[in-house]
Amino acid sequence: MPIEVRFGKSFHPGAKEAVRELEAQVGNIEPNALIFFCSPKYDHAALGRAIQSTFNCPAIGCTTAGEILGSEGYIEGALICAAIASDRLTLKPVLIRDLRAFVNDANPRELEPLSYLSRQRSFALLLIDGLSMLEELVASRINNVLKSIPLIGASAGDGLDFAHTRVYHDGAFHENIAVLAVVETDLPFLPIHSQHFEPTDTRLVITEADPATRTVMEINGLPAAGEYAEAVGLTLEKLTPQVFAAHPVMLRIGGKYYVRSIQKVNPDGSLTFFCAIDTGLVFTVAKPSASLTAHLEEKLAEIHKQIPHPALIFGSDCILRRLEMRQHGELEQARAVLSQYPFIGFSTYGEQFCGIHVNHTLTALVLGDGT
């Protein structure tokens, strides 16, 4: 068999015990790659040691704002994994140790091995500190070297606390890092970008912003939060994460619209975004083109036509999509859709597709089984 993938999950609160349950579910295969995601509630020092001592293979993982597994749908408080065994696939984690130093380095040494990759037989998965505010710059630097090689990324999460997001590397979890998993394979694969929003005619011009903190002070020359609230037909007091999930904004890049989402309202009436912003940008208020789960079902069915026998779907799914589904009572419907596919992923603080950092989006990499 060209590839075998085993999935595992544990809700045990103890790190060692949870990893032990994953090991039992993976069974007797000998994986040569491991992808895992974990609740921020774990003892991450103990979890890192347990992952390294239990699975004798390259591993990538991070903390989440909720876990996603095909058989379970959208869950919370868990440790999940996909153990991959294949002699037709290699996964090599590349550590980016200091994100600010990386983006300021004219020739970062971490990118040197990427220039030798095959354009037809390689893709890359990026896991990055979701509170670094450097995702755009990091993804862009990497994509400039990868060129046509697909890059799918995810910003680590921390529930809805926005305090600490951590990425795993070599037996330990760290802040202020990214791990780029370089995958070489002759199995079929397909990168995916999916959003269920479309632009409206309502425009918002950023007239004062602090790009370093992703904070918008003024929109259309007025206090940002109040102007945004009026644009979506609400009062300032009504603004919540659920409202931001239902009413994101969009930015046009290269002729296409990409979602840009708000993280929170600040006490001074400014807005903090999940993505890079700057004075002079023109946003468009977005509206859904279909229900999120209907769009998800349609997108996965479309993927299935292109790769009829998927062995693994790695998905980076924005936390705002989870909040939207919860608000509309769609989580069970989403579980029913995902249960048909070998899906593993998590709710993120941001998603990367090639060199672009986006929000309220599903970015994914579909890997076929070779049959």
> 294-321: b or e for each residue (b if 16 or more CB lie within 10 Å)?
ebbbebbeebeeebeebbbbbbbbbbbb
Q: What's the average pLDDT block by block, 10 residues per block, for the chain (371 residues)? A: 94 98 94 98 98 97 98 96 97 96 91 84 97 95 93 96 96 98 96 92 95 95 96 92 88 87 93 92 90 92 92 96 92 94 97 92 94 82
* Residue 16 Ramachandran class (φ > 0 left, ψ -120 to 50 alpha, else beta): alpha
Cα–Cα distance, 75 to 347 (Å, whole number): 10
Can you give the pLDDT at residue 344?
Answer: 98
DSSP bridge pairs for 185: 89
pLDDT of amino acid 342: 97
Name the CA radius of gyration of the chain, rounded.
20
Look up residue 334 and give its two tokens: 């989403």
- At which residue do the structure tokens 């995902």 appear? 338
What DSSP state is assigned to residue 113? G
Domains in the chain, please, with CATH?
A: 4-194+292-368 (no CATH), 197-288 (2.40.30)
d(CA 219, CA 228) in angstroms, rounded, equals 7
The pLDDT tens digits for 94-113 are 999 999 999 999 889 988 88
Phi, psi of 86 (to 5 degrees): -165, 135
- Beta bridge pairs of residue 257: 252
Q: State phi, psi for 330 to the nearest 5 degrees.
A: -105, 5
The reported pLDDT for the residue numbered 161 is 93
DSSP assignment string, 83-98: EEE-TTEEEEEEEE--
pLDDT recorded at residue 79? 98
Which pLDDT belongs to residue 369? Answer: 93
Contacts of 353 (CB under 8 A, 6+ apart): 151, 152, 153, 191, 193, 361, 363
**Identity (one letter) of the amino acid at 100?**
R
Report how far residue 162's alpha carbon sits from residue 349's, in angstroms, rounded to the nearest whole number. Answer: 9
